Amino acid sequence: MVLTGCALAQVLIRGGAAPRRWIGPAVTAVVPLLVGWAMTPTIGVEPEAGTVEVAAVQGNAPDVGVGLIDENETVRANHIAEAGRLADDVVAGRVPQPDLVILPESSNTFSAAREDPDLERIAAQLDVPLLVGGIAYDVDGRVSNRVVEWEPGVGATEEYAKQQLVAFSEFIPLRGIAAAVTPFVRQFGTDMVAGDGPGVFDAGGARVGVAICYEVAYDHVLGEATRAGAQLLAVPTNNAWFGRGEMTYQQLAMSRLRAVEHGRAVVVVSTSGVSAIVQPDGTVTGSTGLYTAETLVERVPLRSTLTPATRLGGLPEWALTALAVLAVAMSIWRRPARVMPEPVSDSGPAVDART
């Protein structure tokens, strides 16, 4: 991306010059695109560890922007209702029996006791594990943004706490000043606590790696989960804050990037859309609308091969950053010294005595 962008900039800068000056940058801009296109057939999409039928439950949320801060109970009720409809459809044979059901970020609130009769009822009806996103409270009063695995007949088991928290939403810098400009201070008397490890769940016969909302933008979150054995990736998110703008599509594009990067199918589950099923080659094979109550049920492949990108992790970034620092240092070191002109006296230039 950087090479293509810089090359295109050089084409624009040199556009009015002779062709020999801009044809080199033009070729350079095209080469990465051709290489990417040529590599497409090498992206693995076939199942390597079987398949699972996964259900993504989008219960919907009010389109009220920041006013969503006061709608937690409404959002929860919507998702419990949509999950209940899924259970009824499965019992009636209208949709396939899923192996795993995923509900989005902020679709629930978990007390320290982790008791929830509604989730118990739905898990029992479906007889499959649920992965449920929500705000979770601990016995010591700490709060975090979590995904909780809910097993039928057992209740809450494994949990993952979001690692990359969002400023002015999940933690408040300069809290006293921020209170004047953001309503989140009113809702959260204390900052959320960040997790410190990858989220990988054994659920429904699959190893599922999780990134919550904009964690999908951070390389290490799903990279660590995949290296820890994830065969399928999930991105539970709450996009309702952002209305009908482009944010949800930008985040979906990030999820498609992660699918190709790690060679895994990705299930995007949003409160208000767009939820989507993304195949390991980045193809979207199912999606929902915005501000609708819908459930996607689709069979996805489980894969175990680690791509070069997964194996290398952040090493290419560190290497390129080091090269950039080295380039700047070399440019400073090799910068020629400025030559100061000799002073000229009032009587004219000096004359060599030998003349």
Q: Just list the catalytic residues.
A: 105, 162, 213
Burial of 330 (0-12, 13-18, 19+ CB in 10 A): exposed
Integer Cα distance of 30 and 309 in angstroms: 22
- Which of 209, 308, 301, 202 lies closest to 255, judged by CA? 209
Dihedral in degrees, nearest 10, Cα atoms 209, 39, 288, 242:
80
Label residues 70-98 b or e (16+ Cβ within 10 Å = b). Answer: ebbeebbebbbebbbbbbeebeeeebeeb
Integer Cα distance of 200 and 145 in angstroms: 15
Burial of 150 (0-12, 13-18, 19+ CB in 10 A): buried
**Any bridge partners for residue 101, and if so which?**
55, 130
Integer Cα distance of 190 and 226 in angstroms: 32
CB 262 within 8 A of CB 28: no
